[in-house]
């Protein structure tokens, strides 16, 4: 059977989800329920669209002018089989960098069966729950408890500090996508 991922949205071009020009894949589904989460519309595991992982990779590889892909959500590690395959295919079929946001902290991730394989197929992981009382909203960190785990030598921590904290993307169809670790409240 084909491996599938429950998808919230693909953002084809963003500058606020990691270094440089990137695509962003927002997965659908998260049960971690951080108070103050900015993406509650990504929590429902029955919403979104179910897509084959190889279809997702084809969509991303068709995009021009990006240096990498960020996977966020939703909670990517609650779809571990799909995320691992997605990372492996991106690495084997492209030179794109990859970054994952996760609400799980480092110790939780290290207990997951997929983690060792994820680490060798990703460039960085931003790990930890969003905690309102420790709000930071800078350098790709939503709150001060979160940490950036560098998994390759592709990026250094300064690359993340330079990422803009907020972004408003207006689509050709007039749609508005709000993104970043300090998103505007329209």
By CB under 6 A, name the binding residues for ligand SF4: 30, 32-34, 37, 39, 42, 73-75, 103, 129-130
Please give the residue whose beta carbon sits closest to ligand SF4 in the complex. Answer: 103
CB of 21 within 8 A of CB of 73?
Answer: no
CB nearer to ligand SF4: pick between 80 and 94: 80
Q: How far is the CB of 97 from ligand SF4 (least distance, A)?
A: 21
Q: How far is the CB of 33 from ligand SF4 (least distance, A)?
A: 5
CB nearer to ligand SF4: pick between 89 and 103: 103
For the chain, the first-to-last Cα distance in angstroms comes to 42
Beta bridge partners, 27, equal: 7
Q: What's the Cα-to-Cα distance from 1 to each of 49, 53, 64, 78, rounded to whole Å? A: 17, 12, 30, 19
CB nearer to ligand SF4: pick between 33 and 156: 33
Q: How far is the CB of 129 from ligand SF4 (least distance, A)?
A: 6
Structure tokens at 98: 């990859």
Q: How far is the CB of 93 from ligand SF4 (least distance, A)?
A: 28
Q: How far is the CB of 180 from ligand SF4 (least distance, A)?
A: 13
Q: What is the C-alpha separation between 24 and 68, in angstroms, rounded?
A: 9
How many helices (H) and strands (E) the chain has is answered by 5, 11
CB nearer to ligand SF4: pick between 41 and 94: 41
CB nearer to ligand SF4: pick between 18 and 74: 74
Cis amide leading into 74 (omega within 30): yes
């Amino acid at each position: 059977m084909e491996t599938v991922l429950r998808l919230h949205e693909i953002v084809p071009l963003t500058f606020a989800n990691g270094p440089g020009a990137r695509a962003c894949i927002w997965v659908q589904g998260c049960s971690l329920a951080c108070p103050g989460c900015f993406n509650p519309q990504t929590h429902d595991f029955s919403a979104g669209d179910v897509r084959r992982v190889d279809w997702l990779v084809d969509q991303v590889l068709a995009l021009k002018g990006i240096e990498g892909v960020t996977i966020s959500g939703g909670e990517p590690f609650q779809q571990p089989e799909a995320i691992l395959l997605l990372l492996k295919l991106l690495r084997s079929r492209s030179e794109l960098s990859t970054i994952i946001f996760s609400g799980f902290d480092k110790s939780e991730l290290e207990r997951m069966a997929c983690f060792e394989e994820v680490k060798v197929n990703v460039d960085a992981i931003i790990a930890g729950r969003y905690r309102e009382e420790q709000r930071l909203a800078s350098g790709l960190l939503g709150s001060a408890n979160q940490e950036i785990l560098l998994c390759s030598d592709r990026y250094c921590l300064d690359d993340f500090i330079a990422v803009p904290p907020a972004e408003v993307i207006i689509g050709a169809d007039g749609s508005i996508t709000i993104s970043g670790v300090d998103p505007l409240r329209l």
